[in-house]
Structure 1
């Protein structure tokens, strides 16, 4: 396992007084998915989500133990309070059964998001699959999508047959290459990166506009954690927002390749 996934050490004096005064745990145990999701999560080096959480850790002076797990298992262990939280996750009402999002009333507080990302539809060049921002046409063979991701339900609600047998973007794109599906729906930055990295895909697959969906992504905290550390949980989400807008993090985003 890459050593940067392990417990992240903290030595800093730059912490708000409120973070010192709130009851807080000695460690926060978080899980992430164990597959690449460029540029947010990567197996061979820290992605932008890990870089963000390192900065959050420093602000709060609390250690974070971040472990990669299969995505569905990650959600399950948070649901049962085995882990204190997970990232990165988009909001769906039924996901509130898994854990807590930062909320304003019955809506997620997007000011506390980690980042925004989108889903796009990819087709083979020369095919007639179409997306006009409202309706997907000529996709009778179905659309491939990543297992456990929120776009699956959106596509099904549109009456589309969905093949969500794999989480891995490259595998979904290869289904497209061999004609198993008419198109694939992927997170845009990850889909673009996968195509750019594979010579057998470059020049053969194209992304359609506009995006299928644009969504904020959050750090979810488990229900037991929020119950026990309610005030500190707010400070955690506040720190995420502060880091996201900080010059230090924005520089990391600009320089990330």
Structure 2
């Protein structure tokens, strides 16, 4: 074999090796991009009335959690699309990976099978990376002599909770045999309470306060002074449309920065 042929073969081999390296780098780069935080975050939110945290106004998601997420997205130069929908549909969309996540969801083992939560969501009552801490209360008919003393098993039954809400499982686990989840939202649970004239409703303290002044319920319901429990609520991510851990933490940190800015939060709350 002459020198010229040897040089040609070496050149071809070098070019092949270079092409292989470039292809590997390209694939690695594409893989990294696919795992990065999305340029546009698509999340769903409960369209029910969870004032002031999440509610729907003119087919648009509104509320404190919406303000917080929009602010956090601005800090990260990220676009966000928030879609209000029926709660169970929102959970299904996240399970199927049709949205990037859910804004305003509490921790539940079953949900953790398809949602990514902050590391302390299960173990801490007040998670460091929560959106807010939400207080639940018991509501009864105004004429009821019942007084809640903290013993959940004494609650007048049925205990009504909107369909798909995790607090229903909490009540069952604490010994309540008749938990009614026939209504889609708090408005429905309260209508059943006053029309059927029995049982209880468990809802957010802020929601109870609002409906006490509503024309349909004013003078007909009363909120127990002692709270039932409080829970941390989160921005959680779908495991079917995963972002890398660093990007999730970046978003949770931005949300925490918003929550811990007392001046900013007071500005938001003043709207509601």
* TM-score for the superposition, normalised by structure 2: 0.79
1:44-123 map, 5 Å: 44=57, 46-104=62-120, 107=123, 110-123=127-140
Contact 2:94 2:102 in 1 (8 A): yes
* CA-to-aligned-CA distance 1:22-52 (integer Å, 9 cap, x gap): 9332211101112221001122273111111
- Supply the distance in 1 between the matched residues of 2:98 and 2:121 (Cα, whole angstroms): 27
Change (3 A) 1:80 1:200: closer
Describe the SS at the equivalent of 2:180: strand
Describe the SS at the equivalent of 1:43: strand
Deviation at 1:219, TM superposition (A): 0.3
- Supply the distance in 2 between the matched residues of 1:106 and 1:179 (Cα, whole angstroms): 36
1:250 aligns with 265
Contact 1:23 1:229 in 2 (8 A): yes
Q: Which moved more, 1:120-129 or 1:78-87?
A: 120-129
Q: Which moved more, 1:35-44 or 1:210-219?
A: 35-44
Question: Of the candidates 45, 48, 53, which is equivalent to residue 40 of structure 1?
Answer: 53
- Supply the distance in 2 between the matched residues of 1:102 and 1:114 (Cα, whole angstroms): 11
* CA-to-aligned-CA distance 1:169-203 (integer Å, 9 cap, x gap): 1211111111254111111111221222x223112
Q: Structure 2: where are the runs of 5+ without partners? A: 1-34
* CA-to-aligned-CA distance 1:115-161 (integer Å, 9 cap, x gap): 11111111112313342112342624x11111111111122222331
Over the aligned positions, Cα root-mean-square deviation in angstroms equals 2.1
Contact 2:107 2:121 in 1 (8 A): no
Q: Structure 1: where are the runs of 5+ without partners? A: 1-21
1:131 aligns with 148
Between structure 1 and structure 2, the one with the greater Rg is: 2
Count of aligned pairs between the two proteins: 233
1:162 aligns with 179
Deviation at 1:106, TM superposition (A): 5.9
Contact 1:122 1:206 in 2 (8 A): yes
1:181-200 map, 5 Å: 181-196=198-213, 198-200=214-216
